[in-house]
Amino acid sequence: MKKLSLIIVFLIVLITSSCNTDSNIVVVYTTVDQIFSEPILKEFENKTGITVNAVYDTEETKSTGVLNRLIAEKENPQCDLFWSGDPMRTIILKNKGITTPYQSVISNDIDENFKDAEYHWTGFSARARVLIYNKGLLKTDDIPQSIFDLTKEKYKGKIAIANPLFGTTTFHIAALFSTIGYQKAKQFLSDLKKNNIVIATSNGDVKKRVIQGEVSCGLTDTDDAYEAIKAGANIGVVFLDQQGLGSLIMPNTVSLIKNARNSDNSKKLMDYLLSKETEAKLAKSCAQMPLHKGVEIPKNITSLDSIIPMKVNYDKTSEKLEEIQMYIKKWTEE
């Protein structure tokens, strides 16, 4: 009996010990399109032997599905690392006490504007919000150069944006509210509605409608724009407001989840995502702009150094998002 008791105690200790150590996996939730994020995660698996279990958002609920899941799992986290396509929702998680700080030495040369001051998140590989237009429908002199041009009568019913309740369009709207002020941003959205703006289901849907000529132009992200051009679509790309407000720059962000089960492996993956190697791969696969200096990029990819950026405070933009959510919902449903 005594021998049996010792065996039971030994087994309990063994099981407890194994539960408190990292296994050979890492669980990732990501809002980045699976077609672009999955190859990066697979390459990490091949290099390290660590198995990556990934959960991806759908195109239509971009950035909200995994965000809500992370919030719901706060007391019992199932995720180790969150890879977001923009900083805004990462900041929401930080403010809710769901992330934990980690200062990766890999990101030492990345500009501090793209990092949380307390290292709850770090940015890498940026996209920009751009206007794409159908070259067969708009002459050179008719191409909008400012986001505010979209409210002009000549574009009535000819412009598309993705549903602002989801994805990077939400980020864009919140950035406008935090940058130009509540009243001006509200008036802009009201003017868009009066101009019969077409609300598409996603950035991909905006791209499709412009290519097919259902609308003359639309707001989307650089990765969608370059993907269309690569496929031979007859579209052009404009970085708006280069004489004034500037174009919205949206870095990817990566953060560790508090009380995660596989913290050591998640740090290894975070270092890998923040590397120049990953930025070079994302520049080639989906036209993202590196935040590290000296990363080789394809000739057709616009350098971040050549764009006048919108001056955005990411923390204030995140706060503004939560403040205006009900207004955006009402605007969308009107």
DSSP string, 175-233: HHHHHH-HHHHHHHHHHHHHTT-EEESSHHHHHHHHHTTSSSEEEEEHHHHHHHHHTT-
Q: Model confidence over 159-174: pLDDT tens digits?
A: 999 999 888 899 999 9
Pair 278, 125: CB distance under 8 Å: yes
Q: How many CB atoms lie within 10 A of CB 275?
A: 18
Residue 259 has pLDDT above 80, yes or no: yes
Amino acid, single-letter form, for residue 293: K
Place of tokens 């939730």: 29
CATH topology of domain 22-126+250-301: D-Maltodextrin-Binding Protein; domain 2 (3.40.190)
> What burial class does residue 81 get, using C-beta atoms within 10 Å of its C-beta: 0-12 exposed, 13-18 middle, 19+ buried?
buried
Q: For residues 33 and 39, give the distance between their C-alpha atoms in angstroms, rounded to a whole number.
A: 11
Please report, rounded to a whole number, the percentage of residues in the chain having pLDDT higher than 90.
75
Find, among 250, 231, 215, the residue nearest to 132 by Cα: 215
Q: In the predicted model, what is the mean pLDDT of residues 125-152?
A: 96
Q: What is d(CA 214, CA 118) in angstroms, rounded to the nearest whole number?
A: 46
Identify the pLDDT of residue 59.
52
3-state helix, strand, coil in the chain (%, to 5): 45, 20, 35
Question: With the C-alpha atoms ordered 206, 328, 173, 191, is the resulting torsion angle positive or negative?
Answer: positive
Main-chain dihedrals φ then ψ at residue 141, nearest 5 degrees: -70, -15
Compute the residue count for the chain. Answer: 334
pTM: 0.81
Task: State how far the alpha carbon of 321 is from the alpha carbons of 166, 178, 258, in Å.
Answer: 11, 9, 23
Binned at pLDDT 50, 70 and 90, residue 257 comes out as very high
Range 240-261 average pLDDT: 96
Contact predicate 293/62, CB 8 Å: no
Q: Compute the distance between CA of residue 68 and CA of residue 64 in angstroms, rounded to an integer.
A: 6
Does 22-126+250-301 match 127-248+321-333 in CATH topology? yes
Q: Cβ distance 103 to 205 under 8 Å?
A: no
**Average pLDDT over the chain, rounded to an integer:** 90
Domain layout of the chain by residue ranges? 22-126+250-301, 127-248+321-333
Which CATH number describes the domain made up of 127-248+321-333?
A: 3.40.190.10
Measured CA to CA, the distance from residue 256 to residue 62 in angstroms comes to: 20
pLDDT tens figures, 6-23: 344 333 333 333 443 458
pLDDT score recorded for residue 299: 87
Q: Which of 95, 34, 162 is nearest to 321 (CA)?
A: 95
Between CA 108 and CA 273 the distance in angstroms is 14
Q: Two tokens at 213?
A: 């000529």
